[in-house]
Chains A and B, each alone.
Chain A
Amino acid sequence: MALTDFWFITIAVLWIGYFFLEGFDFGVGMLLHPIGRTDAERRVMINTIGPVWDGNEVWLLVAGGATFAAFPNWYATLFSGFYLALFLILLALIFRGVAFEYRGKIDSVRWRQRWDIAIAVGSWLPAVLWGVAFANIVRGVPIDANQDFTGNLFTLLNPFGLLGGITTASLFILHGANFLSLKTVGEVRERAHRAAQIAGPVAIVAGATFLIWNQLERGKGWTWIVVIGAAVALVVGLLAERRNSEGIAFGATGLAIAFAVIALFGSLYPDVMPSSTDPAFSLTVENASSTDYTLKVMTIVALVMTPIVLLYQGWTYWVFRKRIGTQHLPVVHHS
């Protein structure tokens, strides 16, 4: 396999890791108000992701850094082109990250309510915008001969892009609800189940429409299998949720997210950013990539480091595996 193909797959894997992990912590943030009716319940929800959200977000930084290193032209065109969308994502991630850390620092209702809003909005925005961005990457955007994006924010807000946004948002809500059912006890857990039952059908309809639309326009033969895999995973997840098999439900929505990313990247290949202006201007794994030497260096680093990272990140989830409920919160801080 060519190294450029290997790195195309690696970038896809990094995005899968990011959407699998931060997908559920976005979901928890999006469900903060619908599920957490009291301050104590919202605290429980935040604490399910408290120890891990920052490590989850590093997957984004590594996906960005790896794109810069392996496909500098992709990085340059994408980041300068999707400027305002990324700017909004950055603002959202700034407020959200600070909110997790600062929310509990002052024991005041108003103080916490404001940070709760930051967490909710800061989770909704990227959950929608990542879907919009990826839908537009595969759909193709106006790119000129200099590999410069020639559209604006509204170029991205086409029906296919918006459907992509609805798909990621509903998938992340479902994923987050399943995560909460798995990690909490009591009222929060029950409401999380109900949220999953509402978000599930939405995710199936939006996701199926989005992926089939994508298949019909640019899919490959083998990506049909992946799309079917995503659909099966979602259905299995919903059935498991109804039978209170929360671990299976969570794993299944995670798998659906992974399949959806594979379907998108599969239909994208060998382009990395197709141009809707002229296919000759498209960025491909060949013309956007770094040299073989750089890719070789990065391959060694990735092959050595990734297993180590997975090992200790996995261990974190093991350490914090216990379910929590309002009765587990420390005594000094309460609503």
Chain B
Amino acid sequence: MFALGALPLARWQFGITTVYHFFMVPLTIGLSVLVAWFHTRWYRHGRESDLRLTKFFGKLFLINFAMGVVTGIVQEFQFGMNWSVYSRFVGDVFGAPLAMEGLVAFFLESTFLGLWIFGWGRLNPKIHLATIWAAAIGTWLSAYFIIAANSWMQHPVGVVFNADRGRAELVDIWAVLTNSTTLAAFPHVISGAVLTAAVFVAGISAWWLMRRNPTDVDREGFTRALKTGLWVTIVAGLVLSVSGHFQTRLMFEQQPMKMAAAEALCNTETGPGLSIFAVGDVSKDCDVRSFVIPGLLSFLATDTWDAEIPGVNEVQADYEQQFGPGDYIPNLMVTYWGFRAMIGIGLVSVFAAAAALIYLRAKKVLPQSRWAGRVAVALILTPFLGNSAGWIFTEMGRQPWVVAPNPNGLPEIRQLTADAVSTSVGGATVLFSMVTFTLVYGALGIVELFLLKRYTEAGPDAAITGVLGGSDEPPDDTPRGPEGSDDRPTDEPSDDDADRLVFAY
């Protein structure tokens, strides 16, 4: 019925669901630690403002976490559903980190997050504090295992080829878990995640200080959260650039095509520069790159300014010789601009944080303007876009391979994306699945943004007391919600409500 094959649709579904999932994931990874940090400060110093920050950002964290969890299940399932040929080829090595992620990380984060959410007033304060840290560690471990799995697709190690079964077989799990690609990608992804959460915290705090008139206690809290967020952004930005540099050096050795595609470098050059942008189609024309900073691409790739970097055409010729005729060039428009968007957007976040810190040092207070409030909120988006651009670059730069051949490994360990798709699933089925997931994710994304907005605007009061009022009910006499009731539950239940829960869904 449909002429369209399953392959492009399965790729679109993977791209859409993964980019979407990775809106929630970095915020979860980063914010878990920042919330744990606020909680720790409250535990240590007992300041009301820290408790309010913990609950406020904790609420936003949980709204986001729920969506990350449910979209994560799709990720694990769709390898088998849409990519069964891939799953058979790599399962012996690729399945292990996924199973470990579940056993080591997912249990930890989900169980201890449940304890943290419902543990207010029920757990000993010290143990309650430990639960949020355990959940945070779970999110970081989860990142490690999934990056190890992804890095193996970029740079397959620790395996042999079994010709009888036509598959990659694991011979060294340590090689997989300590893959150089993993060791460089992990700090990069984690610092990107921490930066995402830090900009989120700083942006929301700045918005509150500029656009709302917080009580003294919240003014103190948000000012501290703002400074924490800004400093963490700068430090995370530094880790991002250093780890990114290590990744580029590895990319040059391990995936020369991706390296050339990052710059859309047509032909091999000695000491090539890095262009800031290009006018025209980089995939068709070699001379459209503008504002070339001399030698910078060479430096990023090798630490020297005059190295020979193979161009797309040369790597293509090499691959044809090695793997037979075919088009081994990724989509250069996507890789060229993805690389620039990743770096450029990341720089915007870091420079904005630096500018805000300098401004704060000079003026002590933030400007009370609508315009500045909008900028603060808009900046929250930048790391999300930067993360997406980075992943789109690295995954599209690996094409046409799903498992890129390792130049220093076994040439048989490679698979084209076109050969990886499920042979038993029709185009119509994948189309239906892709469209439905896209619509459902879109709708739920709107709900999540709506809730994040409402809870951000309602501020720490709402996070302390419970829920926000809806619009379809007339207000009743009973005090409730953020509109100023004074019988809020405290962390210590009073005598007459000894059995009442401090928190419930």
Q: Chain A interface (Cβ within 8 Å of chain B)?
A: 43, 46-47, 50-52, 54-55, 57-58, 60-62, 64-70, 72-73, 75-81, 83-84, 86-87, 90-91, 93-95, 97-98, 100-111, 146-150, 290-291, 293-294, 297-298, 301-302, 305-306, 309, 312-313, 316, 319-320, 322, 324, 327-334
Q: Could you tell me the distance in whole angstroms from the C-beta of A105 to the nearest C-beta in chain B?
A: 5
Q: Is residue B183 contacting chain A, with contact meaning CB distance below 8 A?
A: no
Beyond A69-B96, A107-B469, A148-B424, whether A93 also contacts B111 by CB under 8 A is no
A103-B110 Cα distance, complex, nearest whole Å = 19
Question: Which residue in A46, A51, A91, A93 is a CB contact (below 8 Å) of B114?
Answer: A51
- The answer to whether A58 touches B87, judged by C-beta atoms less than 8 angstroms apart, is no
Q: Is the CB of A110 within 8 A of B87?
A: no
Give the distance in Å from the alpha carbon of A147 to the alpha carbon of B80 in the complex. 13
- Taking A50-B505, A61-B72, A108-B472 as known contacts, 5 extra A-B pairs with beta carbons closer than 8 A to each other, sorted by chain A number, are A69-B95, A87-B81, A111-B472, A290-B95, A294-B92
**Contact indicator A316/B91 (Cβ below 8 Å):** no
Ordered by A's residue number, 30 sampled pairs between the chains whose C-beta atoms are within 8 Å are A46-B505, A50-B117, A50-B504, A51-B115, A54-B114, A58-B110, A61-B72, A64-B76, A64-B102, A76-B80, A76-B84, A77-B84, A80-B84, A83-B433, A97-B66, A101-B66, A101-B505, A104-B504, A106-B468, A107-B470, A107-B480, A111-B470, A146-B423, A312-B112, A313-B111, A319-B123, A328-B501, A328-B504, A329-B501, A331-B480
Q: Which residue of B lies closest to A93 (CB)?
A: B73
B82 within 8 A of A: yes
The answer for the CA separation of A333 and B489 in the assembled complex, in Å, is 11
Q: Is B465 an interface residue (CB 8 A)?
A: yes
Taken together as a complex, chains A and B put the C-alpha atoms of A65 and B73 apart, in Å, by 11
Once the chains bind, are A69 and B504 in contact (CB under 8 Å)? no
A69 to B94, CA, bound (A): 7
Are A330 and B489 in touch, CB under 8 angstroms? Answer: yes
CB distance from B35 to the nearest CB of A (A): 16
Asked if B321 lies at the interface with its beta carbon under 8 angstroms from chain A, I say no
Contact B467 A328 (CB under 8 A): no
What is the bound-complex CA distance between A282 and B471, given in angstroms?
Answer: 58
Shortest CB–CB separation between residue A188 and chain B, in angstroms? 14
Contact of A58 (CB < 8 Å), options: B98, B106, B423: B106
Chain B proximity of A54: nearest CB distance (Å): 4
Q: Which residues of A have CB within 8 Å of B470?
A: 106-111
Which of A64, A106, A108, A320 lies in contact with B77, CB distance below 8 A? A64
- What is the distance, in angstroms, from A302's C-beta to the closest C-beta of chain B? 7
Q: With A62-B99, A73-B91, A106-B470 in contact, is A330–B500 under 8 Å at CB?
A: yes
Q: Which 7 residue pairs of A and B lie closest in terms of their CB atoms, listed nearest first?
A: A72-B91, A108-B470, A79-B80, A69-B95, A101-B66, A68-B95, A80-B84
Taken together as a complex, chains A and B put the C-alpha atoms of A176 and B65 apart, in Å, by 26
Query: Does B171 lie at the interface of the complex (its beta carbon under 8 Å from any beta carbon of A)?
Result: yes
Q: Assign chain B's interface to a size class.
A: 35 or more
Flag if B114 contacts A52 (CB, 8 Å).
yes
Instruction: A93 to B107: give the CA distance in the assembly, Å.
Output: 17
Residues of A within 8 A of B88 (CB): 72-73, 76, 147
Interface of A is mostly: helix
Q: Spot the interface stretch: B277-285, B298-306, B334-342, B447-455.
A: B447-455
In whole angstroms, how far apart are the Cα atoms of A80 and B150 in the complex? Answer: 21
Let me know if B466 and A330 touch, CB within 8 A. yes
Report chain A residues within 8 Å CB of B118: 50-51, 320
Contact A61 B106 (CB under 8 A): yes
Residue pair A101, B96 in contact (C-beta under 8 Å): no
Given contact pairs A65-B98, A298-B96, A328 touches B500 in the complex (Cβ within 8 A): yes
B501: A residues at CB distance < 8 A: 47, 324, 328-330
Taken together as a complex, chains A and B put the C-alpha atoms of A11 and B80 apart, in Å, by 17
Question: Distance (Å) between the CB of B124 and the closest chain A CB?
Answer: 10
Q: Is the pair A333, B466 in contact by a Cβ cutoff of 8 Å? A: yes
Q: Mark B477-505, 1 if CB is under 8 A from A, else 0.
A: 01011000101110000000101111111
| B472 lies within 8 A of A94 (CB) | no
B489–A305 contact, CB under 8 A? no
Q: What string of 1s and 0s marks CB contacts (under 8 Å) between B430-454 and chain A?
A: 0001001000100010010001001
Point out the residue from B100, B102, B469, B500 that lies within 8 Å of A331, measured CB to CB: B500
Q: Is the CB of A316 within 8 A of B111?
A: yes
Measured CA separation A45–B167 after assembly (Å) = 48
- Residue of B94, B433, B505 contacting most chain A CB atoms (<10 Å): B505
List of B residues within 8 angstroms of A301 by Cβ: 99-100, 103-104
For residue B85, which residues in chain A have a CB less than 8 angstroms away from its CB? Answer: 76
Evaluate contact between B84 and A57: CB separation under 8 angstroms.
Answer: no
Complex interface: chain A residues within 8 A of B505 (CB): 43, 46-47, 50, 100-101, 103-104
For A110, the closest partner residue in chain B by CB is B472
> A319 and B119: CB pair below 8 A?
yes
Residue B293 is within 8 A (CB to CB) of chain A in the complex: no
Q: Which residues of B contact A294 (CB under 8 A)?
A: 92-93, 95-96, 169-170
- Known contacts: A106-B467, A297-B173, A302-B103. The answer to whether A94 contacts B71 by CB under 8 A is yes
Interface contact B473-A109, CB-CB below 8 Å = yes
Given A51-B118, A72-B95, A98-B70, also A90-B77 (CB < 8 A): yes
Q: Given known contacts A57-B110, A98-B66, is B472 in contact with A65 (CB within 8 Å)?
A: no
Select B473's contact among A65, A67, A108, A333, beta carbons within 8 Å. Answer: A108
- Contact at B480–A332, with CB atoms within 8 Å? yes
The one of B167, B424, B485 in contact with A150, judged by C-beta atoms closer than 8 angstroms, is: B424
Given the interface contacts A55-B111, A294-B93, does A80 sit within 8 Å of B469 by beta carbon? Answer: no
- Assess the B107–A58 pair: CB atoms within 8 A: yes
- Residues in B neighbouring A72, C-beta threshold 8 A: 87-88, 90-92, 95, 167
Q: Is the CB of B99 within 8 A of A332?
A: no
Smallest distance from the beta carbon of A99 to chain B beta carbons, Å? 9
**A312–B103 touching, CB < 8 Å:** no
Of chain A, the residue at the smallest CB distance from B115 is: A316
| Residues of B close to A108: CB separation below 8 A | 469-473
Contact A87 B113 (CB under 8 A): no
Max count, chain A CB within 10 A of own CB: residue among B62, B63, B102, B123: B102
Whether the pair B70, A94 counts as a contact (CB closer than 8 A) is yes
Chain A residues in 8 Å Cβ range of B76: 61, 64-65, 68
B75 to chain A, nearest CB (A): 10
- Closest A-chain residue to B67, C-beta based? A98
Q: How far, in Å, is A151 (CB) from chain B's closest CB? A: 9
Q: With A50-B114, A68-B91 known to touch, is A62 a contact of B107 (CB < 8 Å)?
A: yes
Give A168 to B118 CA distance when docked, in angstroms: 30
A87:B433 contact, CB within 8 angstroms: yes
Cα separation A70 to B123 with both chains bound (whole Å): 38
Q: How far is the CA of A101 from the CA of B444 in the complex (A)?
A: 12
Q: Given contacts A80-B422, A291-B170, A309-B103, is CB(A91)–CB(B66) below 8 Å?
A: no
Given A51-B117, A80-B81, A105-B468, the answer on whether A61 and B451 have CB atoms closer than 8 Å is no
CA of A147 to CA of B71 in the docked complex: distance in angstroms?
Answer: 28
Considering only CB atoms, which chain B residue lies closest to A305 in the complex?
B103
Q: How far is the CA of A319 from the CA of B127 in the complex (A)?
A: 12
B117: min CB distance to chain A, Å: 7
| A126 smallest CB distance to B (angstroms) | 11
